[in-house]
Structure 1
């Protein structure tokens, strides 16, 4: 397309019939060294890369993932006990935990008959008749040592035991209870690469006291009843994990489910859950093989971009990072390399784990580790796609409007930094004030981190009930300071700078307008195919004073030529 533009310009120059504006454009491009042809070629190649990356990204997820997660979540989190209506979300103490485990959990894990009472085939363990349970579910307990906290001398006679909140330093790893089985002994983590779990009250390791369920519901129920009678959970228990993985062959999806119940040192219980629905077996259907071809193309693109960035880094060194677009290129290549390496690792690891599962299906299969990292892989790809789409601004910025916007952002940067300092001073001040006033009564303010996140999204009745005087005062002053004052200051900084940029007559014009290049090339293409009539304002002969004919540029509706502008 750019070739057609330059060919058209050259043809007009040879014929001596070029408009003044076109001549100035050609001269300007050669003078500045800006080549629309190379820019357009780079832009079109980047669009191919972006299309390939988008196909890969949206090929990883589909609506079945949401419905699979929703079905499993409703089954294991919301199914109520027939006796007292307890479900996982309503667990409030150790007794509720055992009631949930003996009732809704076992009923949800073991499906032995159809809805009409007809028994399923022996050995089958399908959930909702469509989803197979991979291996045995596992229940893991984390404990703290006795006397891990200090009791004030006034109450030492009243309390013989003291169990502190969980930390890695006070974790109990010694056998306890009757010591009549492996569930009473500590098991070290068998996967050193698996990350710790971040719960609502703390961060927990991967070891613990482990009890594996079996495929027989009656035997499992008997074992759970035995653990309950022997106080497997007591004052030293701080967290219980229930881990298992479900696979659906119809949609080729895995769901790694982790149910966590934390027992704070204050008493009670806090349930939480984590469900990762991922596609670990990648190459099954025809569309999967199409995605594999896209992955190969993606790797070629990344190798090419990697070489370009290495050459640029060697040439410019640290000055390379002073350019915003270079930083985006660097992040795209970095995230893409991480995604490629993880994709290879995941494929190999899944094959090994599934081989182990087929050899020994009567044991716990830890796919939560892979599902977790697959979820992190999806996050990396999501950021890569986001940055890749942002980079399109690099190619569409060759026009006056985009130049004005970028100049506005660069000129108001110092003002925004100063505003940000003032904003965060007020913001952190209100966060600390809210934490100290309402932290002991309102859940949204029970930690300083929550205060910073929730600030601005008030539940007025909650803070009013916590303190009838300071609650309304806190709300009114916060809204006035941040919304009526600081927010308007922020908008004023941007509006004032944008007005200055628009009125700036010395603002540097862009080297060429990519939209104009596309338009000229498109019109030339239509003319060659005789799909468009020549403009009625064609160049017409004009008679000079000497009687000779010369080419005269028409008066058209385009803007007047400015020798200081580009297109």
Structure 2
């Protein structure tokens, strides 16, 4: 689907914009479609199964169920799953409507597809988030592994600190995204909307940016980008590493202290064994 827009500004200029989206409205018309349909059915069954288990655990444990971090992960995954199913149904309904209109007009009528494109894009985002949370859930299955256990213990140790850090990071990051969007959205395509600005700021944190183009469009954008690089790429990232390293050191120290208390001191076993042997020899005499 292609969209070309030309905005006539009050000063007499024209601001063009374009967007191309690839959308597959018919999902099951190929030989691979049956496999996709089976996978979607299995996903719905698993969603219902985990919903039943989630409600069952709430009934059994009550408020204690929400004392665990994984409870919130499961709840979030279920919300995303049902949201994805709802968007999938809406996309299917809209696709059927478009197909019927296309058949009625024999492809000669105007068919507005922006709505289904937005639904498909949101559905893709939800699937990506759900894949991320499902992958994170594997840590719960691997918690018996020593290294994974240390990782889980570290995240539990710095859980409260990370919440405060996340709030500050989100507020600061969104402030920079909004500033760049307002300054550069009319001239640079990578800043044309807030989502693109968010992605561009994240790429800039990883070292991928075009500072020369930003400075050419607006001199203030170059100054703000300097503060963005200092505050986000250096200060905030180092604070995050400090929080995690501090929690890791605390977990490591606690593990070593526990292991030292449970482990017998060197020579204790040998002394006991020698004393028992001496007692046995005395009795024999």
TM-score range relative to shorter protein? 0.5 to 0.7
Measure, in 1, the Cα distance between the counterparts of 2:217 and 2:78.
Answer: 52
Match of residue 358, structure 1, among 103, 113, 136 = 103
Q: How many positions carry a matched residue from both structures?
A: 243
**Structure 1 residues 299 and 491, CA gap change in structure 2 (3 angstroms):** closer
Distance, in Å, in 2 between the alignment partners of 1:321 and 1:315 is: 12
Gaps of 5+ in 2: 260-276, 278-285
- Give 2:11's aligned residue: 266
Task: Work out the CA distance in 2 between the residues paired with 1:461 and 1:378.
Answer: 30
Give distance in 1, aligned partners of 2:245 and 2:88.
Answer: 46
1:14-62 CA deviation, whole Å, 9 max, x = no partner? xxxxxxxxxxxxxxxxxxxxxxxxxxxxxxxxxxxxxxxxxxxxxxxxx
Is 2:176–2:228's contact at 8 Å kept on the other side of the alignment? Answer: no
Q: Normalized against structure 1, the TM-score is what?
A: 0.36
- Partners of 2:139 and 2:124 lie apart in 1 by 24
**For each residue in 1:484-538, what CA deviation from the matched residue of structure 2 results, as whole angstroms up to 9, or x when unmatched?**
6554444333323322321223559xxxxxxxxxxxxxxxxxxxxxxxxxxxxxx
Q: CA RMSD in A?
A: 4.3
Shift of 1:288: 0.7
Alignment of 1:210-289 (within 5 A): 256-289=1-34
Counterparts of 1:429-448 in structure 2 under 5 Å? none
Distance 1:424 1:343 in 2: 29
TM-fit CA distance, 1:396: 0.6
Whether 1:494 and 2:244 are equivalent positions in the alignment is yes
CA deviations 1:460-479 (Å, max 9, x no partner) are 686599769xx78984x776
Conservation of the 8 A alpha-carbon contact between 2:183 and 2:218: no
Gaps of at least 5 residues in structure 1 are 1-255, 509-544, 546-567
Match of 1:459 in 2: 211
Structure 1 or 2, whichever has the larger Rg, is: 1
Question: Secondary structure of the residue that 2:53 maps to in structure 1?
Answer: helix
Q: 1:371 to 1:507 in 2, by over 3 A?
A: farther
Q: Does 1:398 align with 2:144?
A: yes
1:367 corresponds, among 90, 98, 113, to 113
Q: Secondary structure at the match of 1:274?
A: strand
Structure 2 counterpart of 1:314, from 59, 69, 84: 59
By relative contact order (CA 8 Å, sep 6+), the higher-ranking structure is 1
For normalisation by structure 2, the TM-score amounts to 0.65
Match of 2:72 among 327, 333, 336: 327
Please identify which structure carries the higher strand content. Answer: 1
Provide the rounded CA distance (Å) in 1 between the counterparts of 2:228 and 2:86: 48
Contact 2:139 2:152 in 1 (8 A): no
